[in-house]
Amino acid sequence: MKAVVAKRVERGTADLTEIKDLAQAAGYEVVGELTQTREEDAAYAFGEGKADELAALTAESGADTVIVDNRLGPYQTYNIGGKLPEGVEVVDRFTLILDIFGQRAQTRKAQLQVELAELRYELPRAEAKTSLATRDERPGFMGLGEYDQSRERDIKNQIAEIKRELDAIADKAETRREQRRESGFDLVALAGYTNAGKSTLMRRLAAELDVDENEDRHPDLETTAESEDRLFTTLGTTTRRADTGQRDVLLTDTVGFVSDLPHWLVESFESTLDSVYHADLVLLVVDASEDVEEMREKLVTCHDTLYERNEAPIVTVLNKIDRVDDEELAEKREALAALAPNPVAVSGLTGERVDALRDRIEDELPDWQFERLVLPLGDDTMSLVSWVHDHANVEREDYEGEQVTLEFEARPAIIERARAKASDLATVESV
């Protein structure tokens, strides 16, 4: 598939880098580019003269698709399409993103989220068709297609049904998270823009592949999390055991953020972001090789998304330091100090300074509690001792006479369970 990419901005110079990456991620070969700086035109988004130029470029390049890096209304889509060679499709930024999501959706949860986003995107267009056709009394007016007033109701009913199913999946995920915490795990989430290197960093930190956040098996768990240089490699969530030191940590990689996403699209993937919102610690991964202004813009967007609902501490990770020298890195640290006051700089690719990140994870996770148990010696006690070793950090284990003294640090939930198990042992002993 060949595509021409186009973008309009109201001021400055349009940057086509991300839309070209998105187009390539969707399987397109970009064969032409067009930009314009001006206020939005109600009929064509671009000026009509620029729309004519776009049509000529499309014909000359032999493209079968025009991808516009703006949000187009139904009338603008129709008007631009009317100028293009026959058979050429017009796709706006959000239609393209939904197409990529649809290609990458492997699990039931991801498929539902894509379907929900598609319906939310279609709803205002269905409303526009109904409103216009009702007013004009001509079905399909302006080439918008046959209208059916029941279509609006159908879309709303489908949205409600999908949300109910996603809520049920979210409830199961919350139960799973609590079970993991009760088993002694700290939950750490990777967040950040797509292509920041989250999956590569996960591979560097991961110790095992035995935990899956999704109800269905996620393809990233086959051997190692994907780390290809493309957008939306991770659409669902991938959870793996991380090697950080004393703590038992589960690290979750989530779908990457993309700039300039509308609220309805972010909402559609809210259940995926729950793994970030409900983590004990969030690692906000940023590509340190990008321009400092781009890094700042992405940090601001991520903070707006995360701080709205997230209560866990957030540690900024400046990734890909193998691509920058020490002087440039120091300058970027200083420039971004207000947004990232104490970042950790690493290279997920080479492993440079990843040990410092492991130490920081241990430092930032919620404090463990100390506990000392004196237990009667016996088979059941040895089972409890083994369980504590699996779920806590044992500092002392002494055997004297008919008693075992166990001193350890663990999450509060583990302390409570250990006390309950110890109480049961005491009750059995007294009987």
Q: Summarize the annotated binding site for GTP as residue ranges.
A: 192-199, 253-256, 319-322, 347-349
Q: Residue 64: CB partners within 8 Å, gap ≥ 6?
A: 1, 2, 3, 87, 88, 89
| Rounded-to-integer distance, Cα 236 and Cα 256, Å | 10
Phi, psi (degrees; rounded to nearest 5) at 142:
65, 25
Annotated binding residues: 192-199, 234, 253-256, 319-322, 347-349
Residue ranges for the binding site for Mg(2+)?
Answer: 199, 234
- Measured CA to CA, the distance from residue 120 to residue 77 in angstroms comes to 17
Q: Which two tokens stand for residue 384?
A: 């409890």
